[in-house]
Structure 1
Amino acid sequence: MSMAYRSDRRLRGVTGGALIIGAVTLAGLPEARAQATVQLYGIVDDAVTYVTNQGGAHAWAQTSGVGQSDRWGMRGVEPLGNGLKAIFRLENGFTLNDGRFSQGGLEFGRQAFVGLASDRFGSLTFGRQYDFMSTNLTQFAAGTVTPSVFGFHLGDLDRLGAERLDNSVRYVTPEWGGLQLGALYSFGGQPGNFVANSAVAFGATYERGPLRAGAAYVGMHNYTAAFGIGTSVVGVPLVGTRAQGLLPQFQVFDKLSVSGVGAGYQWGPAFLHGVFTLVGFRQNGVSASLRTAEGGVRYSVTYALSLAGSYAYSKLGQAHWNQFVTGIDYVLSKRTDIYWNAVVLRSSQGVRAQLFTLPASSSNSQTVVSIGLRHLF
């Protein structure tokens, strides 16, 4: 895909500026092996945040990974001949302010996979990987465009905030005239039950000139919800009160199905973006749907300075939410920028406002303001 708008290049092109730390050159071995490389890359991001209502009181905090999650990783490529390559990626997430692993303490919780790639046949990879909601639609969401992790939707139930699937096999076709398709299957690994804990996903992307578009679906059995949204769903309470908005106890749904479409258009200095997602819950034979529609724009005032704003509307039964995101980003260099952003959430009466990753408000309103520094390497 072309990197049509400048900030998106920075967000998606971390590895493009990576430092090559190894190049294998062994005399007497095939030429393809002599071209093998391993690269080191990462992001270091930290911010000061202010929350207007967190359990009934305002709060100040130093929060890592607001603009983009902190990480370091390694990726490798070894040409095997005839356009075929062996590839791998190991990517660790961490919290800068205390040095801990993210993703539940996993060493390579962000990504961990190995596979084969070919310009002619596409890529086939195995391991812990993103589903297509993340790879195909995240670029059109305010949480990425602004950027602010708080700008993703309720509890990240629509998975735009980059969620992964374990034990997965992922295939992506080569590009045909701007169109690319993909499929994924995640093995549940439960003896005697092939379906339990399993997942299936499909995706498509299209690019032509200034237009980019994507679509995705993922269906997961025995899905565990980790973050609150301020209300209950099919009788399951999703009101987080502990640190970082985690539920009092993780809640498991019989099945969660997520689908979405999104698009972006580069119109001169303005990048117009929109996304629609549908989350389906099923528990004990009862179903419910959460719908979210979002639209926004990012405008490059100069090469260094850009402004962003978006609005999202979510509805679940009689409950609804209005979310506003605005931000300013100033690039100091190709690898370093400073940012300011604000996210405002207003929910309907009787529903506690709860932005993604934050503890719930005591009312139906919650606002978070952040100022931070991000460095890519």
Structure 2
Amino acid sequence: MRTSIRSGAGWVAGAALLAAMAAARAQGTVNLYGIVDGGVSFVTNESGKHAWVQTSGVGQSDRWGLRGVEPLGDGWRAVFRLENGFTLNDGRFSQGGLEFGRQAFVGLASDRFGTLTFGRQYDFMSTNLTQFAAGTLTPSVYAFHLGDLDRLGAERIDNAVRYLTPEFGGFQFGGLYAFGGQPGNFVANSAVAFGATYAHGPFRAGAAYLGIHNYTAAFGIGTTVLGAPLVGTGPQGLLSPFRVFDKLTVAGVGAGYQWGPAFVHGLFTLVNFSQNGADASLRTAEGGVKYSVNYAFSVAGSYAYSKLGQAHWNQIVGGIDYAFSKRTDVYLNAVVLRASSGVRAQLFSLPASSSNSQTVVSLGMRHLF
């Protein structure tokens, strides 16, 4: 009789332990997510010719990813993210063929102490300011600024250690350091970044700074900077060959206010190039509004002015978006860029125009999962 009771008690204890382990596992999650975006674009001038192209990721870049969270106790969590970019047209990897070129990091998070992560990550120009940019709100990747040099279109940094504080009264701060990885030279290829955000009611604001040593410019802007020709005529507006600067410094501030159905936004960015003791600065100011006609239909418009030495650019963006559901929408947008005399207009991610003007009109569909 005693043996039977002990056996029953052991079975109950074992079942309870298994149930507890299952509950613990259930608390940790790994989610699959992504965006599939495709459509058709018309470009008025690519190296002197009109172009009709089937485009991938105009509203938002195509991607899929895995993100995971595991509770560790006492308010701590293990977190990770692996995110792959691809082109819908041909199924190729984006970001130069990297398997997880968009994001790849692991770290620890706490509501009390903040989040510390290690890997390939975004700096604060994108995470803190993209929400105030036409490229996000229209939506159109072509609406980001020249060559995406101010990094609003979500550029990444390798070998990065990133820390983000908890929120304090609407404020949140962050810092990042990226190791260059060059033996004998601690500074070469390294980067430092800082950022801050604030939110209160309908008002949001952000600020960011980034300094990168030995920066490689991949996209063209249609003119020359410190003797380096930045005119991209290759696929996706890429330079051939890429240009390397001793240092690139980027800073920006942005803000937005939700005024009923209208979101009014503005931002300013400053990009400074350093090469052989000389400097050049690209300044951009942008403002616009996104108006939600109803829960499904919205319209957006913006204007941006950029200046680099004697060269300047005017960019006008307009678009409409209709959501069939929370996950599927269609959009129609147009981006017009006009540069000063002697400068070849080049919208972000497009080959340069043969003149000082370039326009792209896009019709696309986006699905989130």
Q: TM-score, normalised by structure 1?
A: 0.92
Specify the alignment match of 2:28 in structure 1. Answer: 36
Contact 1:326 1:341 in 2 (8 A): yes
2 CA distance for matches of 1:281 and 1:26?
60
Q: How does 1:237-276 map to 2 (within 5 A)?
A: 237-276=229-268
Q: Is 1:47 equivalent to 2:31 in the alignment?
A: no
SS at match of 2:147: helix
Which deviations, in whole Å up to 9, do the C-alpha atoms of 1:302-344 show, x marking residues without a partner? 1111000000000000000000000000001110000000000
Structure 2 distance, partners of 1:149, 1:345, is 14
Matching residue of 1:118: 110
- Residue among 118, 124, 138 paired with 2:130: 138
1:335 corresponds to: 327
2:11 aligns to what? none
Q: Is the 8 A contact 1:33 1:80 kept in 2?
A: no
- The residue that corresponds to 1:296 in the other structure is 288
Number of the residue aligned with 1:170: 162
**Alpha-carbon separation, structure 2, partners of 1:117 and 1:163:** 23
**Distance 1:202-1:30 versus aligned 2 partners, 3 A rule:** farther
- 1:244 CA displacement: 1.1
Return 5+ residue gaps in structure 1 as ranges: 1-24
- CA distance, structure 2, for counterparts of residue 183 and residue 33 of structure 1: 32
Instruction: Quote the residue 1:56 is aligned against.
Output: 48
Q: Please give the per-residue CA displacement for 1:241-267, whole angstroms capped at 9, x wherever unaligned.
A: 111111120000000000000001000
Q: 1:288 corresponds to which letter in structure 2?
A: A
CA distance in 1, matches of 2:229, 2:254: 29
User: How large is the RMSD of aligned CA atoms in angstroms?
Assistant: 1.1
Give the match for residue 139 of structure 2.
147
Map of 1:348 onto structure 2: 340
Deviation per CA, 1:190-247: give whole Å up to 9, x if none: 0000000000000000000000000000000000000000000111110111111111
Q: Distance in 1 between matches of 2:22 and 2:32?
A: 25
Which among 292, 298, 302 is matched to residue 310 of structure 1? Answer: 302
Separation in structure 2 between the aligned mates of residue 85 and residue 236 of structure 1, nearest angstrom = 46
Larger Rg: 2
In the alignment, which residue of structure 2 is the partner of 1:216? 208
Letter in 2 for 1:281: F
Paired with 1:31 and 1:56, the residues of 2 have a C-alpha distance of 63
| Counterpart for residue 66 of structure 1 | 58
1:373 shift after superposition:
0.3
Q: Give 1:303's aligned amino acid.
A: Y
What CA distance in whole angstroms lies between the structure 1 residues aligned with 2:113 and 2:321? Answer: 39
1:136 aligns to what SS in structure 2?
helix
Which residue identity lines up with residue 348 of structure 2 in the other structure?
F
CA–CA separation in structure 1 for the residues paired with 2:337 and 2:157: 29
Tell me by how many angstroms 1:28 deviates: 5.2
* Equivalent of 1:108 in 87, 100, 108: 100
Deviations 1:34-66 (A, max 9, x none): 411100000000010000010001000001000
Question: Which amino acid in the other structure matches residue 282 of structure 2?
Answer: L
| 3-state SS of paired residue (1:101) | coil
**Where does residue 7 of structure 1 map in the other structure?**
none
- Counterpart contact for 1:185–1:201, Cα < 8 Å: yes
- Structure 1 stretches (4+) deviating beyond 6 angstroms? none
Counterparts of 1:367 and 1:28 in 2: how far apart (Å)? 60
Match of 1:22 in 2: none
SS in 1 for 2:86: strand
Aligned to 1:373: 365
Work out the CA distance in 2 between the residues paired with 1:334 and 1:180: 28
Name the CA distance, whole Å, in 2 between partners of 1:349 and 1:356. 19
Measured at CA, do residues 26 and 343 of structure 1 come closer, stay the same or move farther in structure 2, by a change above 3 Å? farther
The secondary structure found in structure 2 opposite 1:95 is coil
Query: What is the aligned-residue identity percentage?
Result: 81
30 and 116 in structure 1: CA distance in 2 versus 1, 3 angstrom threshold: farther
Distance 1:26 1:129 in 2: 37
Whole-angstrom CA distance in 1 between matches of 2:192 and 2:311: 29
Deviation at 1:29, TM superposition (A): 3.6
Aligned residues: 353
SS at match of 1:333: coil
> Which amino acid in 1 is paired with 2:242?
F
Structure 1 contact 32–80 (Cα < 8 Å) conserved: no
Gaps of 5+ in 2: 1-16
